[in-house]
Amino acid sequence: MHRISKSLTALALAAGLSFGSAYGALAQEDTIKIGILHSLSGTMAISETTLKDAMLMLIDEQNKKGGVLGKKLEAVVVDPASDWPLFAEKARELISKDKVAAVFGCWTSVSRKSVLPVFEELDNILFYPVQYEGEESQRNVFYTGAAPNQQAIPAVDYLMSEDGGEVKRWVLEGTDYVYPQTTNKILQAYLESRGVAKEDIMVNYTPFGFSDWQTEVAAIKKFGSAGKKTAVVSTVNGDANVPFYKELANQGIKAEDIPVVAFSVGEEELAGIDTAPLVGHLTAWNYFQSVDTPENAAFIDGWKKFIKNDKRVTNDPMEAHYIGFNMWVKAVEKAGTTEPDKVIDGIVGVSVPNLSGGFSTMMPNHHITKPVMIGEIQADGQMETVWQTPGLVVGDEWSDYLADSKDLIADWRAPMSCGNFNVKTGKCGGKTTN
Protein backbone atom coordinates (compact mmCIF):
# COMPACT_ATOMS: atom_id res chain seq x y z
CA MET A 1 0.00 0.00 0.00
CA HIS A 2 3.09 2.15 0.13
CA ARG A 3 3.95 2.55 -2.22
CA ILE A 4 -8.56 32.34 -14.12
CA SER A 5 -13.12 35.44 -13.57
CA LYS A 6 -13.54 37.42 -16.64
CA SER A 7 -16.92 38.05 -18.20
CA LEU A 8 -18.12 35.87 -21.02
CA THR A 9 -17.73 38.85 -23.33
CA ALA A 10 -14.05 39.28 -22.46
CA LEU A 11 -13.44 35.57 -22.91
CA ALA A 12 -15.12 35.58 -26.30
CA LEU A 13 -13.19 38.64 -27.45
CA ALA A 14 -9.90 37.19 -26.23
CA ALA A 15 -10.54 34.11 -28.30
CA GLY A 16 -11.47 36.19 -31.33
CA LEU A 17 -15.05 34.96 -31.15
CA SER A 18 -18.43 36.66 -31.22
CA PHE A 19 -21.58 35.82 -29.33
CA GLY A 20 -22.73 34.07 -32.49
CA SER A 21 -20.04 31.50 -31.79
CA ALA A 22 -20.17 28.35 -29.73
CA TYR A 23 -19.27 30.25 -26.56
CA GLY A 24 -22.25 32.56 -27.02
CA ALA A 25 -24.49 29.54 -26.86
CA LEU A 26 -23.29 29.02 -23.30
CA ALA A 27 -24.64 32.38 -22.13
CA GLN A 28 -27.52 30.89 -20.25
CA GLU A 29 -28.36 30.60 -16.59
CA ASP A 30 -28.86 26.87 -16.52
CA THR A 31 -25.26 25.84 -17.03
CA ILE A 32 -22.67 23.99 -15.02
CA LYS A 33 -19.72 26.30 -14.49
CA ILE A 34 -16.15 25.02 -14.60
CA GLY A 35 -13.33 27.13 -13.18
CA ILE A 36 -10.05 27.47 -15.06
CA LEU A 37 -7.28 28.71 -12.78
CA HIS A 38 -4.13 29.07 -14.87
CA SER A 39 -1.58 31.90 -15.27
CA LEU A 40 -2.08 33.76 -18.54
CA SER A 41 0.62 36.32 -17.68
CA GLY A 42 3.87 36.34 -15.73
CA THR A 43 6.71 33.84 -15.65
CA MET A 44 4.50 30.73 -15.80
CA ALA A 45 2.34 31.85 -18.74
CA ILE A 46 4.75 30.03 -21.07
CA SER A 47 3.50 26.77 -19.57
CA GLU A 48 -0.02 27.49 -18.27
CA THR A 49 -1.75 29.36 -21.12
CA THR A 50 -2.00 26.22 -23.20
CA LEU A 51 -3.73 24.42 -20.32
CA LYS A 52 -6.46 27.08 -20.35
CA ASP A 53 -6.86 26.48 -24.08
CA ALA A 54 -6.95 22.72 -23.57
CA MET A 55 -9.73 23.05 -21.00
CA LEU A 56 -11.77 25.25 -23.36
CA MET A 57 -11.42 22.53 -25.99
CA LEU A 58 -12.49 19.76 -23.63
CA ILE A 59 -15.52 21.77 -22.47
CA ASP A 60 -16.44 22.57 -26.08
CA GLU A 61 -16.23 18.90 -27.04
CA GLN A 62 -18.33 17.81 -24.06
CA ASN A 63 -20.99 20.39 -24.92
CA LYS A 64 -21.16 18.97 -28.45
CA LYS A 65 -21.93 15.63 -26.83
CA GLY A 66 -24.82 17.19 -24.92
CA GLY A 67 -23.01 18.53 -21.88
CA VAL A 68 -23.32 16.86 -18.49
CA LEU A 69 -26.58 15.85 -16.81
CA GLY A 70 -28.46 17.54 -19.63
CA LYS A 71 -26.79 20.90 -18.99
CA LYS A 72 -24.17 22.77 -20.97
CA LEU A 73 -20.81 23.46 -19.38
CA GLU A 74 -19.60 27.06 -19.06
CA ALA A 75 -15.93 27.94 -18.65
CA VAL A 76 -15.05 30.66 -16.13
CA VAL A 77 -11.48 31.75 -16.84
CA VAL A 78 -9.41 33.80 -14.40
CA ASP A 79 -5.76 34.90 -14.50
CA PRO A 80 -3.78 34.56 -11.25
CA ALA A 81 -0.81 36.02 -13.18
CA SER A 82 1.95 33.82 -11.73
CA ASP A 83 1.23 35.51 -8.36
CA TRP A 84 0.96 32.76 -5.77
CA PRO A 85 -1.28 34.52 -3.18
CA LEU A 86 -3.52 35.69 -6.04
CA PHE A 87 -4.24 32.04 -6.84
CA ALA A 88 -6.04 31.73 -3.50
CA GLU A 89 -8.03 34.92 -4.11
CA LYS A 90 -9.06 33.79 -7.58
CA ALA A 91 -9.96 30.31 -6.32
CA ARG A 92 -12.23 31.82 -3.64
CA GLU A 93 -13.82 34.04 -6.31
CA LEU A 94 -14.48 31.08 -8.59
CA ILE A 95 -16.10 29.04 -5.83
CA SER A 96 -17.98 31.70 -3.83
CA LYS A 97 -18.94 34.20 -6.55
CA ASP A 98 -19.04 32.19 -9.76
CA LYS A 99 -20.35 29.00 -8.11
CA VAL A 100 -18.20 26.65 -10.17
CA ALA A 101 -18.72 22.92 -9.76
CA ALA A 102 -15.01 22.16 -9.99
CA VAL A 103 -11.73 23.90 -10.79
CA PHE A 104 -8.97 22.78 -13.13
CA GLY A 105 -5.76 24.65 -12.49
CA CYS A 106 -2.42 25.55 -10.93
CA TRP A 107 1.03 24.56 -12.17
CA THR A 108 3.60 25.28 -9.50
CA SER A 109 3.34 23.59 -6.13
CA VAL A 110 3.47 26.97 -4.41
CA SER A 111 0.30 27.96 -6.27
CA ARG A 112 -1.33 24.66 -5.30
CA LYS A 113 -0.30 25.09 -1.67
CA SER A 114 -1.79 28.61 -1.79
CA VAL A 115 -5.24 27.34 -2.78
CA LEU A 116 -5.45 24.18 -0.64
CA PRO A 117 -7.06 25.90 2.39
CA VAL A 118 -9.64 27.54 0.12
CA PHE A 119 -10.79 24.27 -1.42
CA GLU A 120 -10.92 22.62 1.99
CA GLU A 121 -12.82 25.51 3.62
CA LEU A 122 -15.34 25.93 0.78
CA ASP A 123 -15.50 22.20 0.00
CA ASN A 124 -14.88 22.31 -3.73
CA ILE A 125 -12.73 20.23 -6.08
CA LEU A 126 -9.36 20.99 -7.67
CA PHE A 127 -7.89 18.91 -10.47
CA TYR A 128 -4.14 19.50 -10.44
CA PRO A 129 -2.47 18.45 -13.74
CA VAL A 130 1.26 18.83 -13.17
CA GLN A 131 4.04 16.68 -11.80
CA TYR A 132 4.76 17.53 -8.18
CA GLU A 133 6.83 16.59 -5.16
CA GLY A 134 4.35 14.30 -3.41
CA GLU A 135 4.19 14.45 0.39
CA GLU A 136 0.52 15.42 0.22
CA SER A 137 -2.93 13.97 -0.15
CA GLN A 138 -5.88 16.30 0.33
CA ARG A 139 -9.51 15.24 0.15
CA ASN A 140 -10.54 18.09 -2.19
CA VAL A 141 -7.65 17.65 -4.63
CA PHE A 142 -7.15 15.12 -7.41
CA TYR A 143 -3.56 14.83 -8.51
CA THR A 144 -3.51 13.91 -12.20
CA GLY A 145 0.15 14.81 -12.72
CA ALA A 146 3.04 12.59 -11.69
CA ALA A 147 4.22 11.90 -8.17
CA PRO A 148 8.00 11.44 -7.74
CA ASN A 149 7.78 7.67 -8.23
CA GLN A 150 6.06 8.30 -11.58
CA GLN A 151 8.77 10.66 -12.93
CA ALA A 152 11.79 11.62 -10.84
CA ILE A 153 12.85 8.23 -9.51
CA PRO A 154 12.35 6.36 -12.81
CA ALA A 155 14.42 9.08 -14.54
CA VAL A 156 17.27 8.54 -12.11
CA ASP A 157 16.99 4.76 -12.52
CA TYR A 158 17.25 5.16 -16.29
CA LEU A 159 20.36 7.35 -16.05
CA MET A 160 21.96 4.86 -13.68
CA SER A 161 21.36 2.04 -16.14
CA GLU A 162 23.66 0.99 -18.94
CA ASP A 163 21.28 2.47 -21.51
CA GLY A 164 21.26 5.77 -19.62
CA GLY A 165 25.04 6.03 -19.39
CA GLU A 166 25.66 4.62 -15.92
CA VAL A 167 25.71 8.03 -14.26
CA LYS A 168 27.70 8.24 -11.02
CA ARG A 169 27.60 11.99 -10.19
CA TRP A 170 24.46 14.09 -9.89
CA VAL A 171 23.58 17.78 -10.15
CA LEU A 172 20.12 18.54 -8.77
CA GLU A 173 19.33 21.95 -10.36
CA GLY A 174 16.01 23.58 -9.53
CA THR A 175 13.92 26.69 -9.15
CA ASP A 176 13.79 27.86 -5.54
CA TYR A 177 10.39 26.71 -4.28
CA VAL A 178 8.70 23.71 -2.73
CA TYR A 179 8.48 21.30 -5.69
CA PRO A 180 12.20 21.23 -6.53
CA GLN A 181 13.22 21.37 -2.87
CA THR A 182 11.10 18.42 -1.80
CA THR A 183 11.71 16.40 -4.96
CA ASN A 184 15.46 16.84 -4.52
CA LYS A 185 15.21 15.86 -0.86
CA ILE A 186 13.59 12.63 -1.99
CA LEU A 187 16.13 12.15 -4.78
CA GLN A 188 19.06 12.71 -2.44
CA ALA A 189 17.74 10.08 -0.07
CA TYR A 190 17.08 7.71 -2.95
CA LEU A 191 20.53 8.22 -4.49
CA GLU A 192 22.21 7.62 -1.17
CA SER A 193 20.15 4.46 -0.72
CA ARG A 194 21.61 3.33 -4.06
CA GLY A 195 25.17 3.86 -2.82
CA VAL A 196 25.86 7.34 -4.19
CA ALA A 197 28.26 9.29 -1.94
CA LYS A 198 27.14 12.68 -0.63
CA GLU A 199 30.11 14.35 -2.31
CA ASP A 200 28.81 13.06 -5.65
CA ILE A 201 25.57 15.04 -5.29
CA MET A 202 25.44 18.81 -5.92
CA VAL A 203 22.25 20.80 -5.24
CA ASN A 204 21.57 24.34 -6.50
CA TYR A 205 18.51 26.61 -6.63
CA THR A 206 17.78 29.83 -8.57
CA PRO A 207 14.76 32.19 -8.45
CA PHE A 208 11.77 32.12 -10.79
CA GLY A 209 12.59 33.88 -14.07
CA PHE A 210 16.34 33.53 -13.49
CA SER A 211 18.37 34.49 -16.58
CA ASP A 212 22.07 34.95 -15.71
CA TRP A 213 23.22 31.32 -15.77
CA GLN A 214 26.95 31.77 -16.40
CA THR A 215 28.14 31.10 -12.84
CA GLU A 216 25.73 28.23 -12.22
CA VAL A 217 26.59 26.46 -15.47
CA ALA A 218 30.31 26.93 -14.82
CA ALA A 219 29.82 25.16 -11.49
CA ILE A 220 28.03 22.29 -13.23
CA LYS A 221 30.88 22.01 -15.74
CA LYS A 222 33.47 21.93 -12.96
CA PHE A 223 31.50 19.36 -10.96
CA GLY A 224 31.30 17.16 -14.06
CA SER A 225 35.04 17.22 -14.67
CA ALA A 226 35.93 14.85 -11.83
CA GLY A 227 36.22 11.79 -14.06
CA LYS A 228 32.84 10.26 -13.22
CA LYS A 229 29.83 10.23 -15.57
CA THR A 230 27.69 13.21 -14.51
CA ALA A 231 24.07 14.17 -15.23
CA VAL A 232 21.84 17.10 -14.34
CA VAL A 233 18.38 16.45 -12.94
CA SER A 234 16.49 19.68 -13.68
CA THR A 235 13.47 20.96 -11.82
CA VAL A 236 13.94 24.44 -13.33
CA ASN A 237 10.48 25.84 -14.08
CA GLY A 238 8.99 28.33 -16.51
CA ASP A 239 10.85 30.76 -18.77
CA ALA A 240 14.17 30.32 -16.93
CA ASN A 241 14.71 27.17 -18.97
CA VAL A 242 15.47 29.08 -22.19
CA PRO A 243 18.61 30.90 -20.94
CA PHE A 244 19.64 27.81 -18.93
CA TYR A 245 19.99 25.60 -21.98
CA LYS A 246 21.54 28.43 -24.01
CA GLU A 247 24.26 28.83 -21.41
CA LEU A 248 24.91 25.08 -21.34
CA ALA A 249 25.58 25.30 -25.09
CA ASN A 250 27.65 28.49 -24.70
CA GLN A 251 29.96 26.68 -22.31
CA GLY A 252 30.26 23.65 -24.58
CA ILE A 253 28.29 21.24 -22.40
CA LYS A 254 26.85 18.62 -24.74
CA ALA A 255 24.18 16.05 -24.01
CA GLU A 256 26.61 13.19 -24.57
CA ASP A 257 28.96 14.63 -21.94
CA ILE A 258 26.61 15.88 -19.20
CA PRO A 259 23.02 15.00 -20.07
CA VAL A 260 20.19 17.03 -18.56
CA VAL A 261 16.93 15.28 -17.74
CA ALA A 262 14.17 17.85 -17.21
CA PHE A 263 10.87 17.41 -15.41
CA SER A 264 9.30 20.74 -16.50
CA VAL A 265 10.35 21.06 -20.13
CA GLY A 266 7.83 19.76 -22.63
CA GLU A 267 6.66 20.38 -26.14
CA GLU A 268 4.98 23.70 -25.24
CA GLU A 269 8.13 25.12 -23.66
CA LEU A 270 10.16 24.05 -26.71
CA ALA A 271 7.73 25.51 -29.26
CA GLY A 272 9.01 28.66 -30.92
CA ILE A 273 12.49 28.64 -29.38
CA ASP A 274 15.84 27.58 -30.77
CA THR A 275 15.98 23.90 -29.88
CA ALA A 276 19.61 23.44 -31.01
CA PRO A 277 21.03 23.76 -27.46
CA LEU A 278 18.57 21.14 -26.19
CA VAL A 279 18.92 18.40 -28.81
CA GLY A 280 19.96 15.12 -27.20
CA HIS A 281 19.04 16.16 -23.69
CA LEU A 282 16.25 14.27 -21.96
CA THR A 283 12.81 14.83 -20.48
CA ALA A 284 10.78 12.58 -18.20
CA TRP A 285 7.00 12.68 -18.49
CA ASN A 286 3.99 10.38 -18.73
CA TYR A 287 2.94 11.47 -22.24
CA PHE A 288 4.59 12.84 -25.37
CA GLN A 289 2.91 14.28 -28.46
CA SER A 290 4.91 11.71 -30.43
CA VAL A 291 3.05 8.79 -28.80
CA ASP A 292 1.71 6.68 -31.67
CA THR A 293 -1.82 5.62 -30.71
CA PRO A 294 -5.25 6.18 -32.29
CA GLU A 295 -6.38 8.00 -29.14
CA ASN A 296 -3.49 10.43 -29.34
CA ALA A 297 -3.91 10.99 -33.07
CA ALA A 298 -7.56 11.89 -32.49
CA PHE A 299 -6.64 14.21 -29.60
CA ILE A 300 -3.99 16.04 -31.63
CA ASP A 301 -6.35 16.38 -34.59
CA GLY A 302 -9.09 17.78 -32.33
CA TRP A 303 -6.63 20.17 -30.70
CA LYS A 304 -5.33 21.60 -33.98
CA LYS A 305 -8.85 22.04 -35.32
CA PHE A 306 -10.03 23.74 -32.12
CA ILE A 307 -7.04 26.04 -31.78
CA LYS A 308 -6.92 26.71 -35.56
CA ASN A 309 -3.13 26.58 -35.57
CA ASP A 310 -1.23 23.59 -36.93
CA LYS A 311 1.91 24.68 -35.10
CA ARG A 312 0.42 24.37 -31.61
CA VAL A 313 1.61 21.28 -29.80
CA THR A 314 0.27 19.00 -27.10
CA ASN A 315 2.04 18.05 -23.89
CA ASP A 316 1.85 16.01 -20.70
CA PRO A 317 -0.18 18.40 -18.47
CA MET A 318 -2.73 18.70 -21.29
CA GLU A 319 -3.17 14.94 -21.18
CA ALA A 320 -3.51 15.15 -17.39
CA HIS A 321 -6.38 17.65 -17.82
CA TYR A 322 -7.87 15.36 -20.48
CA ILE A 323 -7.83 12.48 -18.01
CA GLY A 324 -9.01 14.52 -15.03
CA PHE A 325 -11.84 16.22 -16.92
CA ASN A 326 -13.14 12.92 -18.27
CA MET A 327 -12.93 11.41 -14.79
CA TRP A 328 -14.97 14.34 -13.40
CA VAL A 329 -17.61 13.92 -16.14
CA LYS A 330 -17.86 10.19 -15.46
CA ALA A 331 -18.06 10.68 -11.69
CA VAL A 332 -20.75 13.39 -12.04
CA GLU A 333 -22.82 11.15 -14.30
CA LYS A 334 -22.33 8.28 -11.87
CA ALA A 335 -23.42 10.42 -8.88
CA GLY A 336 -26.21 12.17 -10.80
CA THR A 337 -25.09 15.49 -9.35
CA THR A 338 -22.17 17.97 -9.38
CA GLU A 339 -22.27 18.22 -5.58
CA PRO A 340 -18.56 18.05 -4.61
CA ASP A 341 -18.93 15.59 -1.73
CA LYS A 342 -20.76 13.06 -3.88
CA VAL A 343 -18.31 13.50 -6.75
CA ILE A 344 -15.35 13.09 -4.41
CA ASP A 345 -16.78 9.88 -3.03
CA GLY A 346 -17.74 8.56 -6.46
CA ILE A 347 -14.59 9.26 -8.45
CA VAL A 348 -12.31 6.76 -6.72
CA GLY A 349 -12.00 3.72 -8.96
CA VAL A 350 -13.14 5.58 -12.08
CA SER A 351 -11.10 4.61 -15.14
CA VAL A 352 -10.89 6.57 -18.38
CA PRO A 353 -8.73 6.23 -21.50
CA ASN A 354 -5.39 7.98 -21.45
CA LEU A 355 -3.61 8.96 -24.68
CA SER A 356 -0.91 6.31 -24.62
CA GLY A 357 -3.29 3.46 -25.31
CA GLY A 358 -4.42 2.36 -21.87
CA PHE A 359 -6.78 3.36 -19.08
CA SER A 360 -5.85 5.53 -16.11
CA THR A 361 -7.63 4.94 -12.81
CA MET A 362 -8.25 7.26 -9.85
CA MET A 363 -6.86 5.55 -6.80
CA PRO A 364 -8.02 5.92 -3.16
CA ASN A 365 -5.10 8.30 -2.47
CA HIS A 366 -6.49 10.70 -5.15
CA HIS A 367 -3.57 9.99 -7.49
CA ILE A 368 -3.87 8.19 -10.81
CA THR A 369 -2.12 5.38 -12.61
CA LYS A 370 0.25 6.50 -15.38
CA PRO A 371 3.00 5.13 -17.63
CA VAL A 372 6.46 6.70 -17.33
CA MET A 373 8.44 7.77 -20.41
CA ILE A 374 11.94 9.10 -20.94
CA GLY A 375 12.24 11.17 -24.12
CA GLU A 376 15.20 12.55 -26.05
CA ILE A 377 14.67 16.09 -27.35
CA GLN A 378 14.72 16.31 -31.13
CA ALA A 379 15.49 19.29 -33.41
CA ASP A 380 11.78 19.78 -34.15
CA GLY A 381 10.98 20.15 -30.44
CA GLN A 382 9.40 16.72 -30.16
CA MET A 383 10.53 13.82 -28.01
CA GLU A 384 11.73 10.44 -29.12
CA THR A 385 10.88 7.89 -26.45
CA VAL A 386 14.02 6.04 -25.40
CA TRP A 387 12.54 4.18 -22.42
CA GLN A 388 9.09 3.42 -21.05
CA THR A 389 7.65 1.40 -18.20
CA PRO A 390 6.01 -1.83 -19.37
CA GLY A 391 2.76 -0.91 -17.62
CA LEU A 392 1.09 1.77 -15.50
CA VAL A 393 2.57 3.02 -12.24
CA VAL A 394 0.43 3.92 -9.21
CA GLY A 395 1.20 7.39 -7.85
CA ASP A 396 2.77 7.23 -4.38
CA GLU A 397 1.67 10.23 -2.31
CA TRP A 398 4.14 9.67 0.54
CA SER A 399 7.74 8.83 -0.30
CA ASP A 400 9.22 5.53 0.76
CA TYR A 401 12.62 7.25 1.01
CA LEU A 402 11.90 9.88 3.67
CA ALA A 403 11.94 8.70 7.28
CA ASP A 404 8.88 10.68 8.38
CA SER A 405 6.83 9.61 5.33
CA LYS A 406 7.64 5.99 4.66
CA ASP A 407 5.00 4.67 7.05
CA LEU A 408 2.20 6.89 5.74
CA ILE A 409 -0.56 6.08 3.27
CA ALA A 410 -3.68 7.88 2.07
CA ASP A 411 -7.10 6.36 1.52
CA TRP A 412 -10.07 8.71 1.16
CA ARG A 413 -12.67 5.96 1.18
CA ALA A 414 -14.78 5.36 4.26
CA PRO A 415 -14.12 4.32 6.91
CA MET A 416 -10.48 5.47 6.78
CA SER A 417 -11.02 8.82 4.97
CA CYS A 418 -7.50 9.88 5.79
CA GLY A 419 -4.66 11.47 3.83
CA ASN A 420 -1.87 10.53 6.21
CA PHE A 421 -2.60 7.25 7.96
CA ASN A 422 0.37 5.83 9.83
CA VAL A 423 0.47 2.11 9.27
CA LYS A 424 2.73 1.57 12.30
CA THR A 425 0.69 3.48 14.87
CA GLY A 426 -2.65 2.74 13.22
CA LYS A 427 -3.62 6.38 13.51
CA CYS A 428 -4.64 9.11 11.07
CA GLY A 429 -2.53 12.25 11.25
CA GLY A 430 0.94 10.73 11.23
CA LYS A 431 2.12 13.88 9.45
CA THR A 432 0.50 17.04 8.18
CA THR A 433 0.93 17.94 4.54
CA ASN A 434 4.09 19.89 3.76
pLDDT in tens, the chain (434 residues): 333 333 333 333 344 433 333 444 444 469 999 999 999 999 999 899 999 999 999 999 999 999 999 999 999 999 999 999 999 999 999 999 999 999 999 999 999 999 999 999 999 999 999 999 999 999 999 999 999 999 999 999 999 999 999 999 999 999 999 999 999 999 999 999 999 999 999 999 999 999 999 999 999 999 999 999 999 999 999 889 999 999 999 999 999 999 999 998 999 888 877 899 999 999 999 999 999 999 999 999 999 999 999 999 999 999 999 999 999 999 999 999 999 999 999 999 999 999 999 999 999 999 999 999 999 999 999 999 999 999 999 999 999 999 999 999 999 999 999 999 999 999 998 654 44
Tell me: do 54 and 165 sit in the same domain: no
The verdict on residue 434 lying in a domain is no
Residues 137 and 155 in one domain: no
Q: Are 114 and 142 within one domain?
A: yes
d(CA 315, CA 373): 13
CATH number of the domain where residue 343 is located: 3.40.50.2300
Domain count, the chain: 2
Tell me how crowded residue 166 is: count the other CB atoms within 10 A of its CB: 11
Shared-domain flag, residues 69 and 213:
no
Is residue 432 a part of any domain in this protein?
Answer: no
Statement to judge: residues 323 and 285 lie in one domain: no
Question: Is 292 exposed, middle or buried (CB count within 10 Å of its CB: 0-12, 13-18, 19+)?
Answer: exposed
Residues 159, 303 share a domain: no
Same domain, 34 and 92: yes
Q: For strands 393-394 and 408-411, give the pairing.
A: unpaired
**Is the residue at 386 inside a domain?**
yes
**Containing structural domain, residue 88:** 8-147+292-370
Let me know: does 375 contact 283? Beta carbons within 8 Å. Answer: yes
Determine how many CB atoms are found less than 10 A away from the CB of residue 180.
28
pTM over 0.85: yes
Instruction: State whether 115 and 162 are in the same domain.
Output: no
